[in-house]
Structure 1
């Protein structure tokens, strides 16, 4: 097979998924001696066009895990606007130190249905956006060693003399996809915070509009950044980017879920690689 470029494709509201995706894509491009390109579809302005990849493009496609699956508001865009022409693809999902659940097979199967030839995948632990106490050291040195092994295995799998159709495909393509994870509170009962939205500490807010520009759903009112009339997917982009820490969540069910995560998921979660 012939590879003439590596393209990193990602949705990454807080930057964790982008970082991991680009690290792997750039290292693959370096070893394959081809250019590395980027498609960042995080912001609404970037989701206005369709992307078609030739069979000579190696696509490294990454998304974060939300409630054990892909972010449901983004799945229709991926299904409609990314097309492969038997393009080799590596699927990556990040997860906040709890579990990736079904996010990785969902991404692999979605891309396969869109004409990509998925050759590998990985679920990678990352800092949890809900709390600085969960996964805050990931990726660590052990992760980076495993990533280097994964990249070496990928380069070997992409041998030029081997036709793409003879490259083994991972088990992800036939794995069952479970329902969305039900968030639990500290009491072990379902925590319902679907309608929760970030609040604003008005004295701290300078109306710099960084939160407005960072929101992947375009949901924050630019005339009054304390108002969030649109959909909130709890990505925490607005909270992480605010230089004055003016954004926060106050919903009691949401805070109970965060407390449960802090109680049960500060242990080191394992990454998983599929070749």
Structure 2
């Protein structure tokens, strides 16, 4: 097969998924000798229309793992507004060192249903959005080398195939329920209604948090207010230039502490061809 265009397509709240998709996509384009473009649908303005591809495209489609699956508030957009039209796909998920559980199986299933032909898949570790204590500094240079090596393997599989390459098996169950977060006491930690707080002594009301919120949940006129749906992605926390944003919900903080206590041992990237 002779692809004509490589795409890195991603939703990335804190940057790890963007970096992973772009490193793989860029290396894949180089190996295939064809153009490469990035398509970021993180912000609401980028989700006002469909994402449509065509035969000859190879799409590195990347999303993060939230509670063991794809982010549930973004899933309808991916299900309803993406069209492969026969394009090849490389479903990729990122995870914060705990586990990618069923997210890769779910992404592979959605892309297949939407007319893509998955030819490879991968799950890559990145610093956890909730805490720097899980996978700090990842994806590292070594991780990026693994990504580039994976891209070269994908390129070899595609170019050596006389017809559409077979889709790889991936672990997990696309229909499984979401992972239930737990606190340090082992009981379910219920923090769906938790929202970011704002330290008035630090906040300059610059509006960066409202402008960058993937859900458009923060009031741009008063950034201390979050009237919309917060998905706990931590983008506002990570991007606030003065460190004014924080979470104080006890259940959320207990879950973060549980993660620190239980999942700091290094996890590894996994690829499927």
| CA drift at 1:175 | 4.7
Aligned to 1:208: 206
List runs of 5+ in structure 2 lacking aligned partners: none
Q: Which residue of 2 aligns with 1:17?
A: 17
Aligned to 1:184: 182
**SS state of the match for residue 153, structure 2?**
helix
Q: Which moved more, 1:109-118 or 1:77-86?
A: 77-86
Q: For residue 191 of structure 2, what is the aligned residue in structure 1?
A: 193
Change in 2 beyond 3 A, CA 1:266/1:243: same
Q: 1:103 is matched with which residue?
A: 103
TM-score (norm 1): 0.96
Q: 1:95 to 1:147 in 2, by over 3 A?
A: same
Q: Residue 224 of structure 2 aligns with which residue?
A: 226
The 3 A distance-change label for structure 1 pair 169 and 161 is closer
Q: Matched residue of 2:123: which SS?
A: strand
CA contact (8 A) 1:109 1:173 kept: no
Question: 1:30 Cα deviation (Å)?
Answer: 1.1
Which residue number corresponds to residue 91 of structure 1?
Answer: 91
Normalising by structure 2, we get a TM-score of 0.97
Three-state SS of the structure 1 residue aligned to 2:119 is: strand
Task: Tell me the distance in 1 between the aligned counterparts of 2:174 and 2:3.
Answer: 31
Partner residue of 2:31?
Answer: 31
1:21-170 alignment runs, 5 A limit: 21-159=21-159, 162-164=162-164, 167-170=165-168
What's the offset of the Cα at 1:169? Answer: 1.2
Q: CA 1:168–1:174 in 2, change beyond 3 Å: closer, same or farther?
A: farther
Contact 2:27 2:152 in 1 (8 A): no
Contact 2:92 2:121 survives alignment (8 Å): yes
Q: Distance in 1 between matches of 2:80 and 2:96?
A: 27
Alpha-carbon distance in structure 2 between the residues aligned to 1:199 and 1:248: 5
Could you give the per-residue CA deviations for residues 164-187 of structure 1, whole angstroms, max 9, x where no partner exists? Answer: 1xx121113995542100000011
The residue that corresponds to 1:270 in the other structure is: 268
Rounded to whole Å, the distance in 2 between the matches of 1:176 and 1:108 is: 8
The answer to whether the 8 A contact 1:11-1:63 is kept is: yes
